[in-house]
C-alpha cells in the first residue's frame, strides 16, 4: 500500500498570486532506493515543486504523501524529509564537523557525534571533517550542505540544484554522494536543468515544462543511449 512508498504526488498544483501557474497537475511517485531527477528548463516549476515537498509553501491543489501521510495534515512527516537549498551558511572559522554539530544542536536534538560523522562520511568529507570550512572548495561546501540535510538519515532527501556552480570533478563527487545515500535504501529527489547531469546521476526522471509533466520513467527510457534527449520539451 501507499504506506510503503516514500513519496506519492497526485494532481499537485501551485498558482502564485498574480496568476502564474508554476505547477500544473503534477503526479508521480518515487520508490525506496531511487534517485529521481526533476529535469526542466528555468521556470519549469522545479523549485516550486520541491519547496512544496519541503513543506515551505502550500500547494494550491493536489496531495503530497510521504509513506502514506499527507504533508500539511499535521502528521510529523516533515521530520522524515531532509532538504538542501543553495547557499546554506556555515561558520568559516569552524570545522565541518563543528558546524554540523552546532546545526544538530540548534534543531533541539541531543548531541550525537555518530550521526554527524555518518553524514560527513556519506558526503565524502571524511578526510576534511576537522578542517576549517574556510579552506573548503565550493564543491566541499556544497557537500557539507548536503551532509547537513542528511543528518539523522531522513527517508527522503530533497535537493534543489545541488550541483549549481560546480565543475565536472565536483559534479562527479556529488553524484557518488547521492548514489551512496540511495544505496542505504533511502530516496533522493534532485532537480537539475541539465539533461547530461540527470542522466549520469539519477535512475529515474520526471521532465517538467511550463509547470507540467511532459515525460517520466527510467532514465534509459527517457534519454537515448547516445545521450540525446528523445523527448521534445516544446509541446505541440
What residues line the site for ligand ATP (CB under 6 A)?
A: 16, 18, 20, 22, 40, 42-48, 193
Q: Tell the burial category of 84 from Cβ atoms under 10 Å away from its Cβ (0-12, 13-18, 19+).
A: buried
**Which residue, 39 or 122, is less far from ligand ATP as judged by CB?**
39
**Which residue, 19 or 168, is less far from ligand ATP as judged by CB?**
19
DSSP state of 9: E
DSSP state of 55: T
Distance CA 81, CA 77 (A): 7
**Which residue, 13 or 99, is less far from ligand ATP as judged by CB?**
13
Q: How far is the CB of 45 from ligand ATP (least distance, A)?
A: 4
Q: How far is the CB of 41 from ligand ATP (least distance, A)?
A: 7
Closest CA relative to residue 45, chosen from 33, 53, 34, 35: 53
Q: Taking each helix axis from N to C terminus, what angle separates 138-150 and 168-182, rounded to the nearest 10 degrees?
A: 10
**Which residue, 140 or 158, is less far from ligand ATP as judged by CB?**
158
Q: Where are the beta strands (DSSP E) in the chain?
A: 7-15, 21-30, 35-39, 61-66, 69-70, 81-84, 156-159, 187-192, 204-209, 212-218
Q: How far is the CB of 235 from ligand ATP (least distance, A)?
A: 15
Distance CA 1, CA 106 (A): 36
Q: How far is the CB of 190 from ligand ATP (least distance, A)?
A: 12
Q: How far is the CB of 172 from ligand ATP (least distance, A)?
A: 22
**Which residue, 31 or 86, is less far from ligand ATP as judged by CB?**
86
Half-sphere exposure of 27 (CA within 13 A, CB side): 4
Q: Tell the burial category of 4 from Cβ atoms under 10 Å away from its Cβ (0-12, 13-18, 19+).
A: exposed
Pairing between β-strand 187-192 and β-strand 35-39 as defined by DSSP bridges:
parallel
**Which residue, 18 or 87, is less far from ligand ATP as judged by CB?**
18
**Which residue, 24 or 101, is less far from ligand ATP as judged by CB?**
24
Q: How far is the CB of 84 from ligand ATP (least distance, A)?
A: 14
Q: How far is the CB of 35 from ligand ATP (least distance, A)?
A: 18
Amino acid at each position: 500500500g501507499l504506506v510503503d512508498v516514500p513519496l506519492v504526488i497526485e494532481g499537485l498544483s501551485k498558482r502564485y498570486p498574480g496568476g502564474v501557474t508554476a505547477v500544473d497537475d503534477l503526479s508521480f511517485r518515487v520508490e525506496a532506493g531511487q534517485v529521481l531527477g526533476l529535469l526542466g528548463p528555468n521556470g519549469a516549476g522545479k523549485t516550486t515543486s520541491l519547496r512544496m515537498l519541503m513543506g515551505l509553501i502550500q500547494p494550491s491543489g493536489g496531495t503530497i504523501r510521504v509513506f502514506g501521510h499527507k504533508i500539511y495534515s499535521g502528521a510529523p512527516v516533515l521530520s522524515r524529509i531532509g532538504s538542501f537549498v543553495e547557499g546554506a551558511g556555515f561558520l568559516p572559522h569552524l570545522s565541518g564537523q563543528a558546524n554540523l554539530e552546532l546545526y544538530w544542536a540548534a534543531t533541539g536534538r541531543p548531541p550525537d557525534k555518530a550521526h554527524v560523522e555518518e553524514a560527513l562520511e556519506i558526503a565524502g568529507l571524511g578526510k576534511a571533517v576537522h578542517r576549517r570550512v574556510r579552506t573548503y572548495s565550493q564543491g566541499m561546501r556544497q557537500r557539507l550542505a548536503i551532509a547537513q540535510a542528511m543528518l539523522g538519515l531522513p527517508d527522503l532527501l530533497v535537493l534543489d540544484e545541488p550541483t549549481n556552480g560546480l565543475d565536472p570533478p565536483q559534479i562527479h563527487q556529488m553524484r557518488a554522494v547521492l548514489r551512496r545515500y540511495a544505496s542505504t535504501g533511502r530516496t533522493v529527489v534532485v532537480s537539475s536543468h541539465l539533461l547530461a547531469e540527470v542522466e549520469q546521476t539519477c535512475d529515474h526522471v520526471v521532465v517538467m515544462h511550463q509547470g507540467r509533466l511532459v515525460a517520466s520513467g527510467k532514465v534509459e527510457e527517457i534519454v537515448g543511449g547516445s545521450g540525446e534527449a528523445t523527448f521534445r520539451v516544446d509541446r505541440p
